[in-house]
């Protein structure tokens, strides 16, 4: 399996002879305003894509959208990807069809996506009132013959749902959205350093890949800070923190 971090939570996966794009955020740097009520109000995305959109969609078999926030499926992605097969969580199916995607496959339990098994998992996009307002989110477990089992946790904090998914599916690779994204009030709405550490401890035989870093104005946790935290906690040898455009062979 080759896993390329494109930017933020956008991944290009090559597994089972197929190429998938996960959570495509393809807008150019600065195309959108800062996320409201958040620290460090700078236009998003903060950084450019390390690859062109033509390179990203070349040979693409399918797209997987964990949910519909703009940092996971933006207007540029909709424009360039609408002919592709797109898998999503059930609450997003109607909205995606309205945006022009003709072949939308909602994952209620498990589906076959171009020869890759995709099972949906639960998560929590924050705590309390803010977490509820963020709407439903999902993670996905991907399987293909001869490949590592991959769990893409999606926009979730560390919670019982993530712990349960790790215990049920026994993934070899776990991708977590770190960055400690937050608003001016309340707790983080994705994993912070402690959440990444808890994930690594819950999956002691897995490689944890931390993404969703240094691309959005409301994500204060840096790669360097996360690296220091996981190393201090004694799990750093199993936590990969790729740079944008970096490919991991797993």
Tell me the per-residue pLDDT of 183-213, one tens digit each, with 9 for 90 and over: 999 999 999 999 999 999 999 999 999 999 9
Query: Which pLDDT belongs to residue 139?
Result: 98
pLDDT of res. 39: 86
* Residue 82 predicted with pLDDT over 90: no
Beta strands across the sheet bearing 85-88: 104-106, 85-88, 62-64, 18-22, 10-15, 2-7, 247-249
pLDDT given for residue 8 in this prediction: 98
What CA–CA distance (Å, rounded) separates 11 from 211? 9
Confidence label for 56 from pLDDT (cuts 50, 70 and 90)? very high
Confidence of residue 157 (pLDDT cuts 50, 70, 90): very high
Q: Mean pLDDT score of the chain, rounded to an integer?
A: 97
What's the whole-model pTM score? 0.97
| 189 within 8 A of 155, measured Cβ to Cβ | yes
pLDDT category at 170 given cuts 50, 70, 90 is very high
Mean pLDDT confidence for 150-177:
98
Task: Go through the domains of the chain in sequence order and give each one's CATH number.
Answer: 2-242 (3.60.15.10)
- The pLDDT assigned to 22 comes to 98
| Alpha carbons 230 and 33: distance in angstroms, whole number | 32
Contact 87/63 with Cβ under 8 angstroms?
yes
Confidence at residue 77, expressed as pLDDT on a 0 to 100 scale: 96
- Tell me the pLDDT tens digit for each residue of 12-55: 999 999 999 999 999 999 999 999 999 899 999 999 999 999 99
Q: 3-class secondary structure for the chain? A: CEEEEEECCEEEEEECCEEEEECCCCCCCCCECCCCCCCCCCCECCCCCCCCHHHHHCCCCEEECCCCCCCCCCHHHHHHHCCCEEEECHHHHHHHHHCCCCCEEECCCEEEECCEEEEEEECCCCCHHHHHHCCCCEEEEEECCCCCCEEECCCCCCCHHHHHHHHHHCCCEEEEECCCCCCCCCCCCCCCHHHHHHHHHHCCCCEEEEECCCCCCCCCCCHHHHHHHHHHCCCHHHEECCCCCCEEEC
pLDDT of residue 117: 98
Band of pLDDT at residue 105, cut at 50, 70 and 90: very high
CB 50 within 8 A of CB 5: no
Q: How many angstroms from the chain centroid is the CA of residue 233?
A: 24
Q: Supply the pLDDT for residue 83.
A: 82
Helices 193-202 and 160-169 pack at an angle, to 10 degrees, of 30
- Are the CB atoms for 173 and 210 separated by under 8 Å? no
Provide mean pLDDT across the span 63-75. 97
219 pLDDT band (50/70/90 cuts)?
very high
Quote the pLDDT of residue 43: 97
């Amino acid at each position: 399996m080759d896993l390329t971090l494109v930017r933020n939570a956008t991944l290009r996966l090559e597994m089972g002879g197929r190429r998938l794009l996960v959570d495509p955020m393809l807008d150019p740097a600065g195309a959108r305003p800062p996320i409201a009520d958040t620290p460090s109000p700078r236009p998003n995305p903060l950084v450019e894509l390390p690859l062109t959109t033509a390179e990203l969609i070349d040979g693409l078999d399918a797209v997987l959208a964990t949910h519909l926030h703009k940092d996971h499926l933006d207007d540029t992605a909709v424009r360039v990807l609408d002919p592709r097969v797109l898998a999503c969580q059930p609450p997003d199916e109607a909205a995606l069809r309205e945006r022009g995607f003709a072949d939308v496959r909602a994952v209620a339990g498990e589906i076959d996506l171009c020869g890759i098994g995709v099972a949906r998992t639960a998560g929590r996009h924050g705590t309390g009132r803010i977490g509820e307002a963020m709407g439903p989110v999902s993670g996905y477990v991907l399987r293909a013959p001869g490949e590592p089992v991959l769990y893409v946790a999606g926009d979730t904090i560390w919670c019982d749902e993530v712990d349960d998914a790790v215990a049920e599916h026994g993934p070899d690779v776990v991708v977590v959205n770190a960055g400690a994204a937050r608003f001016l009030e309340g707790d983080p709405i994705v994993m912070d350093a402690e959440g990444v550490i808890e994930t690594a401890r819950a999956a002691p035989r897995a490689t944890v890949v931390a993404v969703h870093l240094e691309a959005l104005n409301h994500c204060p946790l840096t790669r360097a800070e996360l690296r220091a935290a996981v190393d201090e906690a004694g799990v750093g040898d199993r936590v990969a923190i790729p740079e944008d455009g970096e490919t991991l062979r797993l």
